[in-house]
Each structure stands twice: as C-alpha cells, then as structure tokens.
Amino acid sequence: MTSDSPALPTTHELRARALAGLGNLGVTVPEGGDFHARTPLTGENLFGLQAATAGDAEAAVADAHAAFLTWRSTPAPRRGELVRRLGELLREHKSDLADLVTIEAGKIRSEALGEVQEMIDICDFAVGLSRQLYGRTIASERPGHRLAETWHPLGVVGVVSAFNFPAAVWSWNTAVALACGDTVVWKPSELTPLISLACDHLLCRAADEVGAPRDVHRLLLGDRAVGERLVDDPRVALVSATGSTRMGREVGPRVAARFGRSLLELGGNNAAIVAPSADLDLAVQGIVFAAAGTAGQRCTTLRRLIVHRDIAETLVERLVAAYRRLPIGDPFDENTLVGPLISTASLDAMNSALARVQAQGGKVLAGGNRRLSQAAPRAAYAEPVLVRVDEQTDVVREETFAPILYVLTYDTLEEAIELHNDVPQGLSSSIFTRDQQEAEIFLSAAGSDCGIANVNIGTSGAEIGGAFGGEKETGGGRESGSDAWKAYMRSATNTINYSSELSLAQNVSFL
C-alpha cells in the first residue's frame, strides 16, 4: 500500500549540497569510477567514485603496518594529541559532516548532528585515555620480586563498519585504537563513501598538523572483497566488524583460523518490558524514539515491547496515536522525525517480515504503508509499524532492520524476563517501572542477558562513556568507553627479581 507523497529535495540538489560540504571540508572527490555514492533520500546515485583494488588493499595494510612500527613507540599522551586535533576538526566541521550523514544514511538533522557529537565525545574520551592506559601491580609470592602487567599496542586494526552509524562507529574504534598505539585500515559500508572520505581527510589533516605518520589511518572504499582482505591478512591484528550476525558468522571463524582477534558488533533484537507501575508519559516517549527513530535502523532499535496485560490496552492506544502523528519524509526538514530506509531492499525485507508475521496471526495496529513520491520512485519511505503478536514466532525472533515494533503481553515479571531473553541476540534491553525491586531483578544475573540493560530509558542512544556491545549472536564485543580499550591492546605479565636469589614459584627446588 502507498500513502501521500513526501516533498523531497532533488538528486541534483543533494549532489550540489554534498559537493559543497565536501568542498568546505577540503575533500577532493575522486570522481569517475563505477563505485557509486548514492542517497536514500531519492534512491539515486550521486557520483561515480574509484574503488580500491586488491593492490590498494595490500599497500594500505603494508603502509599502516610500517606506520605502526613508529606509532607504537610514540608516547601515548603524544598519540592523544592526534586524537585531540581530530576532535577539534570534527567540532569545526560538525554541520558539513552531519549533512553528509543525512545525504548518505538518511538520518534526520538532529540525529545526524548527534552522530557527529558522538565522534567528538569519543575523541575527548580517548584523549583522556591516552594518559590512563593503566596496568596492575600484583603482590608476588616470592621475596624481592615484583609482578606487574604492562599494556602494549596490538598492530593494525581493520575496521569494517555499517551504513547506519557510518562515522560514529568508525570513531569509537579509531580514536581508541590510535590512543592505544595501533594504526587503522578502514573499510566502510559501500553505502556511505562520502562521509568516509571526509573522516579520513580530517584525520590525515590532523596527522599532518601534529606530525604523526600519515599512514596511521588508511581508507579503502570498496565492496565485500576489500573487507575480506582485511579479514584474511595476518598483519591485521584485530578485525573490528559491525554488521549482521550473518556477516559475523563468517568473519569470526576466518579471523580465528589465523589466530587473529576479532571484535564483533552484530545484530540486536532489543526489547523493553513495561511494568504496571511505569510512568507511561516517559515510556511512550522512550519507546517511540527507540522504535521509530533512525527509521528503525540502529542495532539498538527497540524491536519488541513486552507489556503487562493490565496496562497493555492503554499503552497501545497511546502508541497508536503517537505513531499516526509521526512526520515522515525529507530528513533535512526540521519537522521530520522519520527519514527514508536505506534502500528498497530494506523495504522489501520489512514487507516480507510483515506478511509473514501476519500469516502467523500478528495484527498491524498502526503504520506499515509505503510513502511514495512520484519524483523519487527508488526511495524507500515507510511508516513505522506496530504489530500485536500473541507469541514470539520465528519472525519476531529475527532482526529485521526496519521500524517494526512487535507488542507482546505478560502477566508475571518472571514470564516477561523469559520472553525477553528468548531470542538469539543480546545487545540492548530496558525496563520501564517505578518498582525498584523489579528494576533490580531485571538488572541482576537472573534478569536481562544483554550487554546493555537500562531502566526507564529506551534501548537506543547509549552514551560513549560505557562499553557498547552485546552477548549471544550479537558477538560479545565491547567498544567505545569503560575499559573496552583493552581489546585494542595486548598485555604482558612481568616478573622482576630485584633480590640476589633465584627463587622458584610454587616452592619448586631445582639445582
């Protein structure tokens, strides 16, 4: 079904806006190839770019490895100066960077600016981190001995990122990896080359300005084959990959087969429990942002709502009203809250999930229509959809990367937590309640099994200060804040004998 058409900028206008933004950033676009930058706002191509060849990938890893040999011995606080300069440049160019995020990923202005802010925040964090790469000193069992732990850089980090956070997820990895003394080769999503060129350019500029080796960062635009080279190259010490569980299932074993490390941020199927005591005003706002924000295309998007039977009718009524009022359309329009899906393939996946869940007894309560603009038939604007389901069928247990929120009901908290955890993914979760006991049970070992568990706030929109990542098929990785930096370093345990005796541990005597 289709509904009224949104007024949209033309591809020509978007091309001009992208070129103006790139111009302000000082980026020269390597136009002319058959690797296309495109925009989901109209679904059309913007320019042809040059993709990296196998030879480019080989050279990028070799150069980044050579740079690593210098960078690893640069004092960490000096390395932090590079990240500080990057943060300053991101602040200066916030608006142009946000434009590119909107043009390529379709985010509304406020979320696109938020994405750049997330980059600035992680730079600030990593600058501080560059003076806090602490190891422990451990009490030795032997007299005249000291036992200590030292953290060293790992090597080249291969960053494979997704379209939905085309810049922020790169920055979580890159700012932290650089502070830790690693160098980075980045393979961004094929769907977001322009923002990638802009980030790479600002980082190269920062490197020149602070006198860091230029090859601390290399960008490889290209398709899956380019990413595969990073996965299989033994010089790439860590592969940090964000994407689908299907992708992670291939990357993880391939990297492990060569004894490399991987850090995986894969699919989520995030749920919120809404208890009878919940503040419903707060819950409705939190739910609608988490489920319909970013057109349902965050890993942290709320996909399942588990509502207590006593309040289900009231809450659903309020959600239906909120869904009917959601402004959908041009993400550059200040009033829009829901921009386009990334592609018509995403819309097809959404429609197919909806058809399947309806065949399994699901009832659409609001939304679900395509908004078609005659001027942009290749764009995929869709109404976020609320679907009532009686049980957690296979469709509900899958991650469909689109704004579908399944609503389930429960009677006891135990049952709610069981439903909550009964999916293969384990990224983010939340409970809306005013009952402290319920909140604490949800946060306890017997509660949510996710890497992120929140109270009275939605599942999406995490701050950079905490570690970000999830369990089960989400892949187990932790990025961003807290001590996620340890994934980008290796530790060495040092035993130092400052006595004049050779004493053996475990009271062993020899000679």
- Whether residue 506 contacts residue 499, with contact meaning beta carbons closer than 8 Å, is answered with no
Which position among 153, 461, 470, 481 is part of the footprint of ligand UN1 (CB under 6 A)?
461
Which segment (54-62, 142-150, 163-171, 370-378) binds ligand UN1 by CB under 6 A?
A: 163-171
Is the alpha carbon torsion for 336, 342, 348, 350 positive or negative? Answer: negative
Which position among 460, 467, 470, 476 is part of the footprint of ligand UN1 (CB under 6 A)?
460
C-alpha span between 409 and 180 (Å, rounded): 46
Owner of token pair 């040059």: 50
Amino acid at 312: A
Instruction: Tell me the per-residue interface mask from 36 to 65 with ligand UN1, x by CB under 6 A, - otherwise.
Output: ------------------------------
Contacts with ligand UN1 by CB under 6 A: the residue count is 11
C-alpha Rg value of the chain to the nearest Å: 24
Minimum Å gap between C-beta 188 and ligand UN1 is: 13
Which position among 18, 86, 337, 462 is part of the footprint of ligand UN1 (CB under 6 A)?
462
Amino acid at 334: E
C-alpha span between 343 and 40 (Å, rounded): 6
Which segment (69-77, 146-154, 231-239, 460-468) binds ligand UN1 by CB under 6 A?
A: 460-468
Which position among 100, 169, 379, 487 is part of the footprint of ligand UN1 (CB under 6 A)?
169
Minimum Å gap between C-beta 428 and ligand UN1 is: 7
Which position among 11, 242, 409, 429 is part of the footprint of ligand UN1 (CB under 6 A)?
242
Which segment (15-23, 251-259, 294-302, 312-320) binds ligand UN1 by CB under 6 A?
A: 294-302
Q: Dihedral, CA atoms, 154, 160, 162, 165, nearest 10 degrees?
A: 30
Minimum Å gap between C-beta 427 and ligand UN1 is: 9
Q: Convert 31-50 to b/e letters by CB count within 10 Å (16 or more is b).
A: eeeebebbbbbbbbebbebb
C-alpha span between 499 and 298 (Å, rounded): 57
- Cβ closest to ligand UN1, residue 64 vs residue 241: 241
Minimum Å gap between C-beta 462 and ligand UN1 is: 3
Burial category of 482 from C-beta neighbours within 10 Å (exposed 0-12, middle 13-18, buried 19 and up): middle
Which position among 71, 165, 381, 410 is part of the footprint of ligand UN1 (CB under 6 A)?
165
Minimum Å gap between C-beta 242 and ligand UN1 is: 6
Burial category of 282 from C-beta neighbours within 10 Å (exposed 0-12, middle 13-18, buried 19 and up): middle
Which position among 192, 270, 300, 425 is part of the footprint of ligand UN1 (CB under 6 A)?
300
Active-site residues, by number, are: 265, 299
Q: Which residues are near ligand UN1 by CB under 6 A?
A: 118, 164-165, 169, 242, 298-300, 460-462
